[in-house]
Amino acid sequence: MISRFLLLLCLAMVASVTVVLPAHSQANLETLFAEIEPDVIEWRRDFHQNPELSNREFRTAGIVAEHLRGLGLEVQTEVAHTGVVGILRGAHPGPLVALRADMDALPIKERVDVPFKSEVVSVYRGEEVPVMHACGHDTHVAMLMGAAEILAGMQDELHGSIKFVFQPAEEGPPPGEEGGAELMVKEGVMDDVDAVFGLHINAGTYVGQISYRPRGMMAAVDDFRIVLNGKQAHGSAPWLGIDPIVTAAQVVNNLQTIVSRNLELTEAAAVVTVGSIHGGVRSNIIPEDLEMLGTIRTFDVEMRETLHRRFREIVNHTAASNGATADIQLPYSAHYPVTYNDPDLTASMLPTLERIAGTENVKLINAVTGAEDFSYFAREVPGLYVFVGGKPHDLNPDESVSHHTPDFYIDEDGMQLGLKAYVSLALDYMAMANGR
């Protein structure tokens, strides 16, 4: 592995210089992108129609592994349960670059009327649920498969090697299981890697645009589970019981005071959201207990510690004030650090982004309260994570459809820029690291 300090120093020295790619690739890359685009779209539609939940991406992983083997790559399967890693060793010495795509879908029923609409039903937390690629991970897999095919065809020209990381469980492993980027790091996926690049298609960014931010790009996340324990009673005689539903209502309201009254929001943003409440079976029965699930987002370590402390105090004290008790799991199943873009690497690769998208289409953005477990990879080695536009140009700014919703939609024209980003970031990084 090349010294990361020397690599970043070299990148900083040549960042302002136009990178000269090998003659073959310089002349033919645009043609290669255009030629493989129909395959990328076809792969994406297949994955979209056959989505799989976190740690259950068996079919997706099988297709990816078969594709990478067909390209002559060294392939590892069952990495972090269902992950796939392919290694392309260039003909010449140089750095090892990792390119990452996530594979999992979400328990959401699709409402978008497309020919490849998902009708898949699976099991999540013991219940049958519809499954949908409602965040665009299907596009990421297809784009990285296309990038692998293009780069494999340039193996004789590569001054370095590329590790293609197809990651499961970015949305968080099922309760009681390990998974995602954190487990991949534990299993050594980032060993000997010099830099890692990732991207996410974005329904709120127009096709043809790339958005980025150095340092903290996305928030740290901790999910939580609260079980409120009361006393069951007839709904007509609430004084005979302890009502966990009334307690839950007070907990939801009281938790919102943490951000508004306990955190210095001029320093950084923070969010507390309760996303699920399950309790009771009939209108005339006060239940014995109730479950609440939610998420916490922070950008600052000290603010995170304060939020966690106040969270526990408020839940426990609110429960006690109603005669109930609370069992708190924080974090519950997901706990990602801040997604951090190495500032030197970001500055060095910015000319690449501007070249493939056009300077006017590369946007510096504010930090995003969404979270990404790409953060685990970028905590091990210098990393860069960007958003690639997937919003149709005929939509107004206020017509964007949110990720993680039944109406999530991506314009497939946006995938070619993601494909270009994967390929170009890898090639330019290797060229700069080798002083070319």
The CATH number of the domain holding residue 325 is 3.30.70.360
Q: Which residues contact 371 (CB under 8 A, 6 or more apart)?
A: 218, 219, 220, 221, 297, 334, 336, 339
CA distance 351 to 217: 19
The confidence score (pLDDT) of residue 8 equals 54
Position with higher pLDDT, 22 vs 259: 259
Domain hosting 428: range is 4-219+338-433
* Encoded tokens for 138: 């299907």
Are both 52 and 88 inside the same structural domain?
Answer: yes
Same domain, residue pair 215 and 79: yes
State whether the Cα torsion 182-187-193-197 is positive or negative: negative
Note whether 338 and 218 are within 8 A (CB). yes
* Final residue belonging to a domain, choices 277, 295, 329: 329
Strands (E) across 114-167 are located at: 121-124, 127-130, 159-167
Residues annotated as catalytic (active site), given as ranges: 336, 412
Helix (H, G, I), strand (E, B) or coil at 391: strand
Helix (H) or strand (E) holding 296: strand 289-298
Do 124 and 33 reside in the same domain of the chain? yes
Tell me, yes or no, whether 209 and 242 share the same domain: no
pLDDT value of position 175? 84
- The closest of 334, 248, 250 to 292, measured between CA atoms, is 248
Instruction: Single out the residue in 311, 329, 347 at which a domain terminates.
Output: 329
Q: Is the separation of the CB atoms in 247 and 319 below 8 Å?
A: yes
Confidence of residue 19 (pLDDT cuts 50, 70, 90): very low
pLDDT of residue 24: 47
Interatomic CA distance for residues 331 and 375, integer angstroms: 17
Do 72 and 208 sit in the same domain of this protein?
A: yes
| pLDDT single digits (tens) 351-376 | 999 999 999 999 999 999 999 999 99
H/E element, 419: helix 415-433
CA dihedral 311, 269, 302, 225 (to 10 degrees): 30
Burial of residue 33 (number of CB atoms within 10 Å: 0-12, 13-18, 19+): buried
How large is the average pLDDT for residues 136-146?
A: 98
Is 313 found in the same domain as 420?
Answer: no
For residues 111 and 63, what is the distance between their CA atoms, to the nearest angstrom? Answer: 26
Q: Which pLDDT score is estimated for 368?
A: 95
Same domain, 279 and 311: yes
pLDDT per residue as tens digits for the range 272-315: 999 999 999 999 999 999 999 999 999 999 999 999 999 999 99
Please state the rounded mean pLDDT for residues 46-51: 98
Q: Is the pLDDT of residue 42 over 50?
A: yes
What is the domain-level CATH number for residue 367? 3.40.630.10
Domain match, 79 and 155 both:
yes
N-term to C-term CA, the chain: 19
Domain count, the chain: 2
Burial class (CB in 10 A: 0-12, 13-18, 19+), 287: buried
pLDDT in tens, 256-269: 999 999 999 999 99
Q: List, for residues 160-209, the tens digit of each pLDDT value.
A: 999 999 999 999 999 889 999 999 999 999 999 999 999 999 999 999 99
Share of the chain above pLDDT 90, in %: 90
